[in-house]
Structure 1
Amino acid sequence: MKLNIKAFGLTCGILWGLTILIITLWILIIGSQGRILSKLSTFYFGYSISAGGAIIGLIWGFVDGLIGGAIFAWLYNKLTGTKQSE
């Protein structure tokens, strides 16, 4: 079985971006400090526990998931000996 690199990357990007958005908004709703989640600002420039930070996290999470998912699918295809067909 081969993985479609573009589709897998896009799926990972959407899921990770939405995860960051939802978790950030959840932290805002319940009023927690979000100490662990605030560490993302080390990797995601401009991210903070705020409504604006949730949008920035969505964008960075999408890019991060897209790249990570594409690398994973490419590596999976290489290791299993399958080739990507368009």
Structure 2
Amino acid sequence: MKLHALALGLTLGILWGGAILLTGLVNLIWPGYGVAFLEVIGSIYPGFYPGGGVGTVLLGTVYALADGVIGGVIVAWLYNVLARKFSA
């Protein structure tokens, strides 16, 4: 079975971007929510930090979307390479 690289990339990008968006927005409403998680993400994505406002949440979402798409494409590509290698 072959994975469609772009489909997996878009799926992971949407899920990861959505997770960052949702967590960031909830953190703006309840400042204690997800702070440790958002601080880890902020250490990876430049310009993103918890409680920084809607602009930083959107920036983190864009980073996460791109990160998920690139990661998903790489995972699908690697899976397809290894699946061909180990198929009978």
**What TM-score do you get using the length of structure 2 for normalisation?**
0.83
- Which stretch of the first structure deviates more once superposed, 17-26 or 34-43? 34-43
Instruction: Supply the distance in 2 between the matched residues of 1:30 and 1:72 (Cα, whole angstroms).
Output: 35
RMSD: 1.6
Aligned to 2:41: 40
Q: Deviations over 1:8-58 (max 9, x none)?
A: 111111111111010111112122161331222221111022211110111
Where in structure 2 are the equivalents of 1:4-83 lying within 5 Å?
Answer: 4-32=4-32, 34-49=35-50, 50-81=53-84
- Which structure 1 residue ranges, 5 or more long, are not aligned? none
Segments ≥4 residues shifted beyond 3 Å: none
What TM-score, normalized by structure 1, do the two folds share?
A: 0.85
